[in-house]
Amino acid sequence: MSAIINALPSIWGGLVITLALSALVVLFSLIAGVILGLAILWAPAPVRLAIRAYSDVIRSIPLLVLIFFVYYGTPALGIPLSPFWAAVIALSAFKTGHIIEIVRGAVGSIPRGQTDAGKAIGLTFVQRLTYVILPQALRRFLPPWLNAVTDSVKGSALASLVGVVDLMLSLQQVIGRTYEPMPIYVIGALIYFVINFTLSSASRRLEARFAYVRD
Partner 1 sequence: MSATEPPLVAIRDLCKSFGAVRVLEGVSLDVPRGSVVVLIGASGSGKTTLLRCVNALETYDSGSITVEGTEVGFRAPGRRRGEGELAAIRAGIGMVFQQFNLFPHLTAAENVMLGLRKVRKLDKEEARSRAIHWLERVGLGAKTESLPGELSGGQQQRVGIARAVAMEPKLLLLDEITSALDPELVGEVLAVVRRLAGDGMTMLVVTHEMAFARDVGDRVVFMDAGRIAVEGKPRDVLVDPQHPRLRSFLSRVELKRAEEDA
Interface with partner 1 (CB under 8 A): 111, 113-114, 116-125, 127, 131-132, 135-136, 139, 212-214
Among residues 134, 139, 122, the alpha carbon closest in space to that of 210 is found at 139
Of residues 1 and 121, the one with the C-beta less far from partner 1: 121
Shortest gap between Cβ of 56 and partner 1 (angstroms)?
28
213 burial class (0-12, 13-18, 19+ CB within 10 angstroms)? exposed
Taking the C-alpha atoms of residue 114 and residue 137, their distance in angstroms, rounded to an integer, is 11
Smallest separation, CB 124 to partner 1 (Å): 5
Nearer to partner 1, 134 or 161 (CB): 134
How many whole angstroms separate alpha carbon 70 and alpha carbon 167?
Answer: 21
Dihedrals φ, ψ of 23, to 5°? -65, -40
d(CA 55, CA 199): 25
Q: Which is nearer to partner 1, 46 or 113 (CB)?
A: 113
Nearer CB in complex with partner 1: 44/113: 113
Q: Least distance (Å) from partner 1 to the CB of residue 131?
A: 6
Least Cβ distance, residue 108 to partner 1 (angstroms): 17
Q: Which of 89, 90, 95, 86 is nearest to 163 (CA)?
A: 86
45 or 213, CB closer to partner 1?
Answer: 213
CB within 8 Å of 75: residues ≥ 6 apart: 81
CB of 123 to partner 1, least distance (A): 6
